[in-house]
Amino acid sequence: GGGAESPREAAGENFRLGTYVRLRLVGDDKKFLEKELAAADAEIVRLEALFSANIASSDISRVNRAGGEWVKVGPETADLIKRSLAIAAETDGAFDPAIGRVVRLWGIGTSAARVPDEPEIRAALRGGGYKNVKVREEDGESYVKAPDGLWLDLGAIAKGRVADILKERLVSDGVRGAIIDLGGNLALIGSSPDGRPWRLGLQHPHKQRGEYFGVVNVSDGSVVTSGPYERFFERDGVRYHHIFDPATGYPAKSDLDSVSIIDADSTRADALCTALFVMGRARAEKFLEKNTDLAAVLVLASGDKVLVTPAAREIFELTDKKFTVEV
């Protein structure tokens, strides 16, 4: 290498959005790529300050504290809440952005993680879910209202949205190749430095991080995975994970071990893989039959089988031969 036409790269890692964010940009001009890298990180920080339920001054936290009053929010927040409500409706509430009190109550992934009692769970569900969240536009401003006691949490969709915003910005600035890795939520620009599609591993649900059961070959797309192995704690031999069934307020009892979605739209992919995990195999298959464009790879909890939708067949390659593929 080293010739004038060989691609240059810039890469960085920061702790953002409660996870490790890794950006790798490919182009011709190293200085330009370094500048884009810094601007991308600043953009993540800006968006996290709007979307995070863990930052008191964020748009989301201000809505959650408003006791049922209208709150003025930024346009990105209003857009993301509207998309969240639409996907919540589309998935019959399996994805529910109004799950915030349940998330906070269990505290999974924090030092406050515990198993709440039934009355606490009932209280956390009392707000009634996403149908009670309202968005209003007036004179070019956006307002959001959630009933008193109902809290929003965009943890299952915001990384996808941040990835889409970054991607759009990098592309319009002229970056011709990138891997945007927001804690395993991947969005891609162009192809890899060798000109082939990016080859991305899908995490094995029961093995060390970085051990894959398969790979997908993707250019210009996004790959998102949800599973119960990401964040959990154990109490009395029972494992409690961070993906909740909004119908019960408990960690979803899913017969799936993970759901990966490969889609150009990372926002939708993020929300839907959480939703399909909550749905479990039977409901997820019905949803996928209605959405034949979706490329999805589902690992069954039985431990021996992977379901691959027709749209994913061309890009998915099984590498762990302990599994069999069912289409």
Rounded CA-CA distance 90/19 in Å is 28
On whether the CB atoms of residues 33 and 40 are closer than 8 A, the answer is: no
203: CB partners within 8 A, 6+ apart: 184, 209, 210, 211, 212, 213, 225, 227, 229, 258
**Beta strands in the chain, from DSSP E residues, in sequence order:** 8-16, 19-27, 71-73, 134-138, 141-145, 177-182, 185-189, 198-203, 212-218, 222-226, 232-235, 238-241, 256-263, 295-300, 305-308, 316-318, 324-326
In terms of Cα–Cα distance, which of 242, 212, 215 is closest to 226?
242
Cβ atoms within 10 Å, residue 22: 16
Task: Provide the minimum distance between the beta carbon of 102 and Mg ion in the complex, in angstroms, as a whole number.
Answer: 15
Residue 27 site contact among ligand FAD, Mg ion, none (CB < 5 to 8 Å, cut-off depends on kind): none
CB of 110 or CB of 192, closer to ligand FAD: 110
Task: Provide the minimum distance between the beta carbon of 30 and Mg ion in the complex, in angstroms, as a whole number.
Answer: 31
DSSP 138-190: ETTEEEEE--TT-----TTTHHHHHHHHHHHHHHHHT--EEEEEETTEEEEES
Asked if 203 is part of the footprint of Mg ion (rule: CB under 5 A), the reply reads no
CB of 61 or CB of 203, closer to Mg ion: 203
In the list 59, 263, 265, 270, the residue contacting Mg ion (rule: CB under 5 A) is 270
- Residues within window 145-164 making contact with Mg ion, judged by CB under 5 A: 156
Residue 243 site contact among ligand FAD, Mg ion, none (CB < 5 to 8 Å, cut-off depends on kind): ligand FAD
Task: Provide the minimum distance between the beta carbon of 72 and ligand FAD in the complex, in angstroms, as a whole number.
Answer: 19
Strand partners, 8: 27
Residues within the interface to ligand FAD (CB under 6 A): 17-19, 48, 51-52, 54, 95-97, 99, 103, 109, 153-156, 158-159, 185, 226, 230-231, 242-244, 246, 270, 274, 278
In the list 274, 277, 297, 312, the residue contacting Mg ion (rule: CB under 5 A) is 274
CB of 101 or CB of 159, closer to ligand FAD: 159
Task: Provide the minimum distance between the beta carbon of 182 and Mg ion in the complex, in angstroms, as a whole number.
Answer: 8
Residue 158 site contact among ligand FAD, Mg ion, none (CB < 5 to 8 Å, cut-off depends on kind): ligand FAD
Six-digit token string for 152 = 């929003």
Task: Provide the minimum distance between the beta carbon of 63 and ligand FAD in the complex, in angstroms, as a whole number.
Answer: 14
Task: Provide the minimum distance between the beta carbon of 313 and ligand FAD in the complex, in angstroms, as a whole number.
Answer: 24
Interface residues toward Mg ion, by CB under 5 A: 156, 185, 270, 274
